[in-house]
Amino acid sequence: MAATDPQVLALAAQITESREQDIPLLLLKLKGILSSPSLGCEESNKIKQDIYDYGLTQYCLLVLKQDHSQLHGAWATAAQLAEILSHCCVGLEVKEDPEEFYRKFLPSVIDSLLVLGKRLQVRFIRAIKDKEKQDFLHWFQMVTNAICWLFGGHIQLAARVLQNDRFLQLLITDDVETAIVMMSVLHNILRINSSVLLQVEEETLHSVLDELVYKLSSTTNPAVGSAATKLLLLMAKSCKQLVQLFTARYKGLKGLLSKQWTGKGFDREVNQLLDLLYLEQSSGKGEMQKQHEAACIIQAAWRGFQTRKRLKKLPQAVVTLQRSFRAKREQELQHLTKQKEDEALKLQMQLQRQRAMRLFHERQLALLEVVHASQVNKYMQEMEEKSALTIQRFWRGYRARRIFHQQKQSLKEYKAAVIIQRAACKFLEKRRRRRPLSPWKEPKGLTDEQRLALQQKVDDYIKLHPASQMSEETSRELHMQAQAKLAQFLLRNRLDQRAAQRREALLAQVNTDVELLMNAPGLAETTEKDFGAFMSRSIPVATKARQAHNTMLKYTRWPWWKKLGDEFMEDDVIPDDAINTELETLFIGGRKSF
């Protein structure tokens, strides 16, 4: 086994011990190692093998995948690393695990180089100064040359480059310089592997052809036109099937070439491409004629078969058509009849309304003729009052119905809650009644042994914790204080129990009053027995209620013009100047609730 090159070995050791930001500058030393004039072909391949075995090519690939703007030297370093990486991969024959190298590593290198080229192209387009544009264009050409060098050494990568989306993005650009560079890359691909067009997908091939034809039609730059024409000619010569695609997909290509690009300095390529297109068109005419005749024969046979099939089904189709036509006509007649009936009914109702209105006006005129002239104003006032009362009655009825519908749900919920509480109380009461009383058990007494043991513990505790000596007077005084506090506690407890009983009684009374009010019948359904539940036996209370009732009756008998401002007031709101009596109490069943 041959020894490892000492320069590669020293560089690998130095990279291993260096910081991450210093690695790109160290990798640039590979260019001097590879370009040494004393190296032969075999020695160069051996150095490339050592570089790959020590992972320096993998380091280059990882650096290219990083953010290039953060490197030392930025884009210039990235372009040089791309060139070094492509030279390291060309001529390298991996013996250990070649699958990893050809299937994974090389495609990853191609993808990284295309991504770097796209970023350089964007920077070149955005650059403003001429110096910056020249630098970015130079680096972009270095990256594209590295790509060409790579797939030149590994022909299988040509199809990989052509099918990559980044390559199409680089090719589809309006910038002249980068477009010419990318068309040169495509020219190299076709020159190295002319059968690559048959290996790519049809969609990718159409995208490339569309871009080339678009460049011919959208620009007047001779350099762009020459590069696009040469590419189309090379494609047509390498693959005869593409000539048919040109004539079928781009029908105006011949006119575009002959009118716009003749006499631009590359007439030989233009004429060769036109000759191929015209030759394909002339040879395709006979084939088209044969295809046309065959299509006519197939169409005639098919139409005859369809006609015979239709003629067999014609009687059934006629019967179906007649049935559907008659059904549709019957529906239309029914619709017209119903429409006429509706119009007649509408007209009749309108005539009845007009007749009733006419009779109403005639009665009014007759009454005006009968009424004396001095009573006309009074009559008109009465009519206005009746009209106002009618309008108010309808408005209040509408408002009451609306409020009732809004409160209907809450009323249902309240009634349901009352029913549930009543049922729960009855259920709990039944359970309490059915619960058997536990029999009284006499407490078990202590045995003599337990009593002696307990007495021994008490004596021991007294010996350990002797009580302080207290006089008889002090003991009696403490006893009296304890008795006084016990009496106060019992008295306070008795008062609290009475207050709780009184609260429960008041709460039961309030619930009973609310239930009576909720279940109260209407005035039309009220009987004499119901009056007694809502009347008070107290004479002052009855007198006060009668005064309030008379005041409300006087308020309802006011003329309409005094109550014009009360249309939007609630039913239970009465002006303070109309009612002087304050209704602060509620009388139910002879009781007074506050």
Q: DSSP characters for 140-157?
A: HHHHHHHHHHHHHHSTTH
Query: Can you give the pLDDT at residue 569?
Result: 45
Distance, in Å, from the CA atom of 594 to the CA atom of 587, rounded to the nearest integer, reads 9
Host H or E run for residue 374: none
Domain boundary among 247, 275, 290: 290
Domain count, the chain: 2
Report the interhelical angle of 6-17 vs 41-53 (nearest 10°). 20
Strand partners, 591: 588
- 417: in domain: no
Question: Do residues 577 and 497 touch, judged by C-beta distance below 8 A?
Answer: no
Residue 225: pLDDT band (50, 70, 90) is: confident
- 346: in domain: no
The whole-number average pLDDT for the span 392-416 is 87
Name 277's Cβ contacts closer than 8 Å, sequence gap at least 6: 243, 246, 247, 253, 254
Distance, in Å, from the CA atom of 453 to the CA atom of 527, rounded to the nearest integer, reads 81
Highest mean pLDDT among 195-204, 279-288, 529-538: 195-204
- 218: in domain: yes
Question: Do residues 527 and 562 touch, judged by C-beta distance below 8 A?
Answer: no
Task: Provide the domain limits for residue 157.
Answer: 6-290
- 86: in domain: yes
Least confident of 83-97, 279-293, 392-406, 488-502: 279-293
- 50: in domain: yes
Burial class (CB in 10 A: 0-12, 13-18, 19+), 148: buried
Domain boundary among 251, 273, 290: 290
Query: Can you give the pLDDT at residue 434?
Result: 82
- 547: in domain: yes
**Per-residue pLDDT tens over the stretch 170-222:** 878 777 787 888 888 887 887 877 777 777 777 877 787 777 778 777 777 88
Evaluate if residue 105 carries a pLDDT over 50: yes
| First-to-last C-alpha distance (Å) of the chain | 115
CB atoms within 10 A of CB 261: 22
Question: What's the CATH number where 161 sits?
Answer: 1.25.10.10
Mean pLDDT, the chain, integer: 77
Domain boundary among 290, 306, 323: 290
- 91: in domain: yes
- 214: in domain: yes
Phi, psi of 272 (to 5 degrees): -60, -45
Evaluate if residue 441 carries a pLDDT over 70: no
Phi, psi of 48 (to 5 degrees): -65, -40
Q: Which residue has the tokens 């002249």?
A: 176
